[in-house]
Amino acid sequence: MHGTVTPTQRAAIERHQQFRANIAAKAAELADRKTRIKLAAVPVAAVEAPLVKAPGVTVVSQDELIESVSQPSWFVVLPSGQGHPQVRDIQKAVCKHYGVTLSDMLSPRRTANIVKPRQVAMFLCKEFTPRTLPELGRRFGGRDHTTVLHAVRKIPRDAFKDASLAQDIAILQEKFTRSSL
C-alpha cells in the first residue's frame, strides 16, 4: 500500500490545495503585478512522489512538464535527483534577507524583529525539507514541535493579508529554487 492515497487523504489534499491556491491568488492581487516567478521545468514524475508533502502542485499527465507559473508560486517541488536544501541553509538565507543573526534566530528572544524571520524560516523549512516538526523544533533552538506548527499555519495566513510578507516568501523560495536546480 506504499504510495497509495486513500479517498480521505485525497480529499484532505484537495482542500489543502484549494486553501493554498486562495492564498496565492490573494498574494498575486496584493503584490506588484510585474513580480513573476518562473520555475524550471520539473518532470511530473518528480511531482507525484512528494504530492502529500507539497500540496498546491497540479499533477498532469506523465508526459507533460510543468514549465512555468504565471503568478507567484507557494510550493516548489525539487527534481528527485537534486535533494532538499538544508535547514541551516534556509535559516542563513532568511537571516540575511531580514538582517538578523543566526544566533538571534536560534535564541529564546521573542521580539517582533526576530519572531517574524524565525517563523518564516520554520515555514520554509517545513515546505522544503523532509524534517518533522520535532526535528525542526530542535534545529530552531530546542523549541517544541507545536511552536513550529504554529509558524507553519500562521505564515500563510499572514501572507494572505500582507503583500510584503508574500513577496518576502516568494523571493526566498526563488533563491532556494535557483540554488537547488
Q: Are 24 and 74 in contact (CB under 8 A)?
A: yes
What stretch of H or E contains 66? strand 65-66
What was the pLDDT predicted at 176? 81
Closest CA to 75 of 95, 55, 94: 55
Q: How many CB atoms lie within 10 A of CB 9?
A: 12
Mean predicted confidence (pLDDT) in 31-46: 40
**The C-alpha cell of 120 is what?**
518564516
Mean pLDDT over all residues of the chain?
A: 73
Phi, psi of 122 (to 5 degrees): -60, -45
- In a domain, residue 82? The reply is no
Q: What pLDDT, on a 0 to 100 scale, did the predictor assign at position 67?
A: 35
Residues β-bridged to residue 66:
42
Residue 174: pLDDT band by 50, 70, 90 thresholds?
confident
Identify whether residues 54 and 104 lie together within a single domain.
no
Q: Which grid cell is 176?
A: 532556494
User: 73 in a domain, yes or no?
Assistant: no
pLDDT at 30: 60
Q: How many domains does the chain have?
A: 2
User: Do 53 and 91 fall within a single domain?
Assistant: no
Q: Domain range holding 37?
A: 7-66
Lowest mean pLDDT among 9-23, 27-41, 58-72, 135-149: 58-72
- Is 27 inside any structural domain? yes
pLDDT of residue 4: 77
Q: What pLDDT does 84 receive?
A: 78
CA distances 159 to 1, 5, 152, Å, are 37, 29, 12
User: What per-residue confidence (pLDDT) applies to 26?
Assistant: 67
Given a cut of 70, is residue 148 above it in pLDDT? yes
Cell digits of residue 131 = 524534517
The Cα 125–Cα 132 span in angstroms is: 10
The answer to whether residue 72 sits within a structural domain is no
- The DSSP output letter for 55 is T
For residue 71, is it within any domain?
Answer: no
Looking at per-residue confidence, does 120 or 58 come out higher? 120
Mark whether 104 and 41 lie in a shared domain: no
Q: What is the dihedral of CA 139, 145, 146, 148, to 10 degrees?
A: 30
CA distance 9 to 88: 31
Higher pLDDT, 126 or 80: 126
Do 21 and 95 lie in one domain? The reply is no
Q: pLDDT tens-digit profile of 55-106? A: 444 443 333 333 333 334 444 444 444 567 899 999 999 999 999 999 999 9
Specify whether 54 is located in the same domain as 100.
Answer: no
If asked whether residues 100 and 35 sit together in one domain, one would say no
pLDDT confidence bin for 28, thresholds 50/70/90: low
pLDDT digits (tens, 9 = 90+) for 151-164: 999 999 999 999 99
Residues in a beta bridge with 42 = 66
The C-alpha atoms of residue 102 and residue 139 are separated, in whole angstroms, by 11
